[in-house]
Chains A and B, each alone.
Chain A
Amino acid sequence: MSEEKVISVDQTTLQMLDKAKNEGLETAWDRKVAQKAACGFGSAGVCCRNCTMGPCRVSPVPGKGAERGICGATADVIVARNFARMVAGGAAAHADHGRSIVLELLHASPNGAIQVKDEKKLKKVAARFGIETEGRDVYDVAHELAQAGLRDFGRQEGHIVLPPTVPAKRKEIWEKLDIVPRGFDREVVAIMHSTHIGCMADAEAILKMGLRCGLADGWLGSYMATEFSDIMFGTPHSRPTEASLGVLEHNQVNIVLHGHEPVLSEMIVAAAEMPEMIELAKSQGADGINLCGMCCTANEATMRHGVKLAGNFMQQELAVITGAVDALVVDVQCIFPALAKLSESYHTKFITTSPKARITGATHMEMDEAAPLKTGIAVVKEAIMNFKNRDKSKVMIPEAKTKAEVGYSTEEILNKLDGVVNSHIGPMQSTKPLADVIVAGVIRGAAGVVGCNNPKTVHDEGHLEVIKGLIKNDIIVVTTGCAAQAAAKAGLLTKEAKELAGPGLKKVCELVDIPPVLHMGSCVDISRILELVGMTANQLGVDISDLPVVGIAPEYMSEKAISIGNYVVASGIDTWLGVVPPVTGGPEVVDILTNRIEEWVGAKFFVETDPHKTVEQIVNRVNEKRKKLGI
């Protein structure tokens, strides 16, 4: 690899890429090279295909070349429409994810595979939807809650039920801007409508629609997905795990869970723990069953069960290339279609399970919604029976693995904070200790580092440099998604990592007994971050935009990340993007996103591809906010 430019800061990734090269296999990095230089029009967002008069491409440089599409749409209109459609795509992904989860709650039953595991959380969420819980049967409440949740997906009148963690001032801002979401699906449809040819042609108004749709994602779709998952599968608590491709085992049945929805991983975890499955594995000559995860399914399963983290987005092919994966089981989102062809080179069974994500060439074992555990068992069996087909001569599992601590739900963070509350002062179960250390300046602020991998950046470098830079400056980091896995692999999710933190954060880590970087879960679990930030703002009686809090997506790639960025900014949190979004061809759009939007919502986008400069900018911005607050 040495003669080429550095591809990843993760050693196991480089090892596996060498193996791929030796075996003549192609990965996303090779395909990136094969793409040659990306089209400048698309990169700048000035290419439109919204009708068959086009495709049109206009000049990204004002006053030069074609300034309008055939219908007369300007560069700014085209860029804004494309951007809004990215928001809609991302929000739709989270919407459908949330919807499945709500439907699962609707079908939960005391004797079924899906039950109510966290009654306390059920009551809390039911209360916020105005549902009576006193003296009622748990499943009646659950089903009524699911109905109420579903109503907000398809709501046609009024507004969605916002959680109480939205500060009053924030709500006012949204009302004034008219960006309080109506139904979730409706906001997605609205964007698809307004971006149709001959509809919305005002960049500012289109971008506001994007904010509204994003808010439906963050404060409804993702929020509900997280809450309802906790109700059914348990609220996460801190627990140990291990990370890196080295978590694959030589003499065990390796099942890699990849995708997003927790129901798949939950069922497989349950199936893999069954004594008869373990017996079956032994009868096939394996020592046991080794479950590992990738991407957000990994995050879900690790938060609740400590399932090991095999790797993040750009490593999905590399897991197969180890030759040790007996089954790669996927559901939806961020699954490379390339996996189908790649797994043909090994014994690996590539199993799709969702009707929403069929992949040609994969073995499809559709999740039976009425009897999901059955599907789980069938998949695990398939993996076990495939163990004997493993070609040991082709196996190479990297030696590396790293300890990590995961499971920091908002509830768990509050529990940890209780540990530093003086029982004669109180209150318990509040964010006051967090608010206190921020106000005192012991920690300077808080940052959510989230998002994907992207072959445009050095794999994991952005995540790690940003996280390390921030904690060194006494900014506590919470993380989700593939950023969390980067942190896990690098050992940043350990209590020992406090040594990399600044003096204040280190002290806080010691007092509260936490790592300086807290894994809060999957991408939909960014709603946990919203919850925590909202509670802290309410605690201090300020708006979210007043807090020294930021969001960063150093290596994002998906439309979901764009939707996330929109709701984070709309919630009043400055957001840094480490990859340039396709908006540079629309000067007004750039001006709105990185400047004027601040007048609307008190926060804006920053685009910075250099992680060190990102850290510098964040520290300055955090200090500015502190000054404004007088802290």
Chain B
Amino acid sequence: MNLFQTVFTGSKQALAAAEGLVAKAVEEKGRDCKVAFPDTAYSLPVIYAATGKKITTVAELEGALDIVRSLIVEEEMLDKLLNSGLATAVAAEIVEAAKYVLSDAPYAAPCAGFVSDPIIRSLGVPLVTGDIPGVAVVLGECPDAESAAKVIKDYQSKGLLTFLVGKVIDQAIEANVKMGLELRVIPLGYDVTSVIHVVTVAIRAALIFGGVKPGNLAEVLQYCSDRVPAFVNAFGPLSELVVSAGAGAIALGFPVVTDQTVTEVPTLLLTQKDYDKVVKTSLEARKIKIKITEIPIPVAFAAAFEGERIRKND
């Protein structure tokens, strides 16, 4: 299957998943049931940024499926491909919102799920000063816990903010990676769709710090591309859904580096099979220069550890 067809297929799968979950929400909670993510003034941030409209009820959530449909135009041109990626993002947000409708606490430790506005505000300053030089989204599954930990710890030692999605969370735990907001490693969730919670971080950054008007999608994308130094590492076999989500990342200006053989697109979609080089490859792809000089001491030393309390038995 060519890259375009893979992305279109993934987007249609995302749409089907969203339709399924929304139908379930309608059935279980009714169309008048409230829809909201916790602690945010931006409703469903992706949809809000794209359309300027706040989704407040399940009925409106159902209506938002049309946004997804309208973004999937199966014509083999780059703009259609990127839109299809955005369709997957919107569908993922609908799925995640439905999860919050269907359950009061869809996420439990270690997973964070939706990231609240106050957290984003707290990240604003270090992002602007370059204290957080980048945002890594590590998704999928590495061949073993060790290689996963190596990559994540490397980001951590460089002060990047790392979000984990999928099995890699378990691998990080297994390899004793220390996690938490202060440690700049945040496990989001096990489903691919939970990756949307980092997308909304970038999008809310555009609305909060960039002052971009909701509804001005082009400007939101431009802000993310210019100002949010994020990128994606997708490990392990890639489903069509993941690839189409990757197209969404690319639409936001975030390059995707994977350990799988894919149809590469220079600077945007890259294959790096050597785990020792994943970090360097990703930083170069996103043009991230690390301000802090690495100090060759046995313990990884960086801003990410500032919040860490040394416990007695360590």
Contact = CB atoms under 8 A, between A and B. Distances in A.
Interface of A: 417, 420-425, 433, 436-437, 439-442, 444, 474, 502-504, 507, 511, 623, 626, 630-631
B265 interface: yes
Contact of B79 (A417, A433, A503): A503
B279 to A, nearest CB: 9
A441 B78 CA distance: 8
B265 A425 contact: no
A421 B78 contact: no
Nearest to A506: B78
Nearest to A417: B266
Contacts of A424: 272, 277, 280-281, 284
B272 A503 contact: no
A503 B78 contact: yes
A148 B82 CA distance: 52
Interface in B175-212: none
B2 interface: yes
A630 B3 CA distance: 10
B264 interface: yes
B281 A440 contact: no
Interface residues of B, number: 23
Interface in B238-291: 263-267, 269-272, 277, 280-281, 284-285
B4 interface: yes
A630 B2 CA distance: 6
A425 B81 CA distance: 25
Contacts, number: 64
Contacts of A423: 284
B266 A420 contact: yes
A444 B78 CA distance: 10
Nearest to A433: B266
A471 to B, nearest CB: 13
B79 to A, nearest CB: 4
B3 A440 contact: yes
11 contacts: A421-B266, A423-B284, A425-B272, A437-B265, A440-B264, A503-B79, A503-B82, A504-B77, A504-B78, A507-B78, A511-B266
Nearest to A420: B266
A440 B272 contact: no
Contacts of A425: 270-272, 277, 281
Contacts of B270: 422, 425
Contacts of B263: 436, 439-440, 631
A422 B265 contact: no
Contacts of B266: 417, 420-422, 433, 436-437, 511
Nearest to B277: A424
B275 to A, nearest CB: 12
Contact of B77 (A417, A474, A511): A474
B267 A631 contact: no
Interface in B58-90: 76-79, 81-82
A498 to B, nearest CB: 13
A502 B76 CA distance: 11
Nearest to A623: B76
Contacts of B285: 422
B50 to A, nearest CB: 18
A628 to B, nearest CB: 12
* Top-9 shortest CB links A-B: A504-B78, A503-B79, A420-B266, A424-B281, A433-B266, A503-B78, A436-B264, A440-B263, A424-B277
A81 to B, nearest CB: 44
Given A423-B284, A424-B281, A503-B77, A511 B264 contact: no
Contacts of B267: 420, 422, 511
B284 to A, nearest CB: 6
A422 B288 CA distance: 13
A589 to B, nearest CB: 37
B8 to A, nearest CB: 12
A85 B77 CA distance: 43
Contact of B2 (A420, A503, A511, A631): A631
A503 B79 CA distance: 6
